[in-house]
Amino acid sequence: MGLIFTWRCFDISNKEQQINEEIRDRELRIVGPDGSQLGIMSSRDALKLAAEKNMDLVKIAPQATPPVCRIMDYGKYRFEQAKREKEARKNQRVIEVKEVRLSINIDKHDFDTKAANAVKFLTAGNKVKVSVRFRGREMAHPELGRELLERFIAACSEVGSVDKIPKMEGRSMVLFITPKPAKKD
């Protein structure tokens, strides 16, 4: 019994458009480098016209009838596109979820320290997940955990607002706080 392997060839360059000789359509609507309509012509004539202008023929609307191609400098176009994508990534900000864990019998100073950390996370623009862990007989008193979370909400109210109200998840009561949008003066 022999094994059969199938090989698949993938195009290494991840192009979204067909360019020059890759365009196999019979008729094409051609747009010039300046955006002017040059009319409908065969792909051979369009390739000649692009070669005369020392540019590339790029299919920009393959679903149209006939497909629309543009004469442009494809290398310059790809460079500009990569530059725009890089700029968009640079302006993007990833919001992290930071977690603060409390217990029902937390002391005043420990509570203040955890609240100060949460305020610091919120001012940095991150979401905060606050969880109260119930152990043993504490499960019989979820109202104590709710009161603790209400105090925590009050401590963080200046920089954050409640995203999801406190609710039980297993042996923990969980609350999410999101940062308030920065005020623009």
Q: Answer with the one of 67, 90, 113 that is the final residue of a domain.
A: 90
Could you tell me if residue 1 is inside a domain? no
Could you tell me if residue 9 is inside a domain? no
Domain residues for the domain of 121 are: 97-179
Please check whether residue 49 is in contact with residue 71, taking contact to mean a CB–CB distance below 8 angstroms.
yes
pLDDT of residue 44: 87
pLDDT of 11 strictly over 80: no
The answer on 106 and 153 residing in a single domain is yes
pLDDT of 102 strictly over 60: yes
pLDDT of 3 strictly over 70: no
The answer on 104 and 168 residing in a single domain is yes
pLDDT of 20 strictly over 90: no
pLDDT of residue 4: 54
Secondary structure of the chain as H, E, C letters: CCCCCCCCCCCCCCCCCCEHHHCCCCEEEEECCCCCEEEEEEHHHHHHHHHHCCCEEEEEECCCCCCEEEEECHHHHHHHHHHHHHHHHHHCCCCCEEEEEEECCCCHHHHHHHHHHHHHHHHCCCEEEEEEECCHHHHHCHHHHHHHHHHHHHHCCCCEEEEEEEEEECCEEEEEEEECCCCCC
Instruction: Give the number of domains in the chain.
Output: 2
Mean pLDDT of all residues in 154-172? 86
The answer on 138 and 77 residing in a single domain is no
Q: What is the CATH number of the domain that holds 154?
A: 3.30.110.10
Could you tell me if residue 5 is inside a domain? no
**How many CB atoms neighbour CB 52 within 10 A?**
9
Could you tell me if residue 153 is inside a domain? yes
The answer on 166 and 132 residing in a single domain is yes
The whole model's pTM is what?
0.51
The answer on 162 and 102 residing in a single domain is yes
The answer on 110 and 60 residing in a single domain is no
The answer on 115 and 84 residing in a single domain is no
The answer on 161 and 143 residing in a single domain is yes
The answer on 118 and 45 residing in a single domain is no
The answer on 107 and 73 residing in a single domain is no
Could you tell me if residue 3 is inside a domain? no
Q: Answer with the one of 66, 90, 114 that is the final residue of a domain.
A: 90
